[in-house]
Structure 1
Amino acid sequence: MVVGTVLAELTGTSRRTLSRALHVASGVVLAVVAVELLPESLGGAAPPWAVVLGLCLGGAFYILLEWLIERSAGGEESAGAWMIYTAVAVDLFSDGLMIGVGSVLSLQLALLLGLGQSMADLPEGFATAANFKNKGQPRGRRLLVAASLILPSLAGASLGYWLLRDRSEALQLTALAFTAGILLIAAVEEMLKQAHEVAEDTRLSAAFLIGGFSLFTIFASYFDS
């Protein structure tokens, strides 16, 4: 995330570049849901109804969070950059959660998950910093926002390890489904929406979307194996 932020600060962040970065980040988040979270949730001891309930509750939580941020920010347009930040923070929280739960099983597994997620999170860091830059936020605030992104990862890892390690597998998997519901709406309703608003969509934009999805999928496949 920090590398992506530095790239956004050092390079030009045109509206087209920002749109493409958001398409890549959306593809990554959708892949997290489709390749890791939902298959993991549905393939374990949790009953399907609990997984679906967790998914729906996660979506409802994000909708409520979006409403609260829009009210505090003074409108949907002002809240846009903060909703992108929220989506990325939630993604990082889910990364930490997976790493925390994985570390209960194996430190090597947790390390591999962390390395794979780090590579996939680079475009999200770029998109977050570029979006705040595009919204006219001062550099000091942008750097402070970037530095704060370590907190969701640590919180997720702590929660996954200390609170979920002694719980039932069904509860752990339902928590993953809850995170998947948040990320699903964040990617489709916020990241892609912002990407289409900052620049006109093109066929190449779709290529960046599938590229982000493929990037995470290839890393997840190799690290899982």
Structure 2
Amino acid sequence: MIRLPAADQLVGRVPVLWRALAAILILGGLILLLVESRARILRAGTEVRLATAPVDPRDLFRGDYVILNYKISTLDPAALDGEKSLRRNQIVYVRLAPGADGFAEAKGVYLAPPALVPGESAIEGRVTSTSSCLAGADGEPDCKLGTRAIRVAYGLESYFVPQGTGLAIERTERKRIEIIAAVAPSGQAAIKRLLIDGKLVHAEPPY
């Protein structure tokens, strides 16, 4: 009977230098794959305007950033098309359409990508809470209205900006800030531009 060498024995015969080079190439390939995946969203994704509420800036280890809260982050499933009963950590797809002011409004929330009409897009998110307070007329949480709302995170909640600018953005009135996000057909999204008073402040490079 022919006994084949074990996998670890075969690997052990490869010089250490070649093993190190192979590991570097594999790691580099994975990084390039992630970068290209995000770049593809920025290049080809549908642009949507998102009204934001910046919260807390500054990560001393990684430079400045703003944490963003969106109008579409708090949803009332009972008032939207699609699923009415959702659980924490579920992946959902929120159907968006431009409102009268041009900003994206949620029209429905679903467990699978929904059918869309021209002008609409569907953004993928994860339910982070099912007992949030509904938003009042000013957009702020108002617990007197009840806690039927869900919170959805889209991966757009943290945005890194040049060092020294995060605090200034955080202090800017919410109504003056908007985010242009790119949404891929898969539902994945990435921040493309940050504007204040309609003027470009930061733009993401394609790579």
TM-score by length of structure 1 reads 0.28
Larger radius of gyration: 2
Higher relative contact order (CA 8 A, sep 6+): 1
More strand by share: 2
More helix by share: 1
TM-score by length of structure 2 reads 0.30
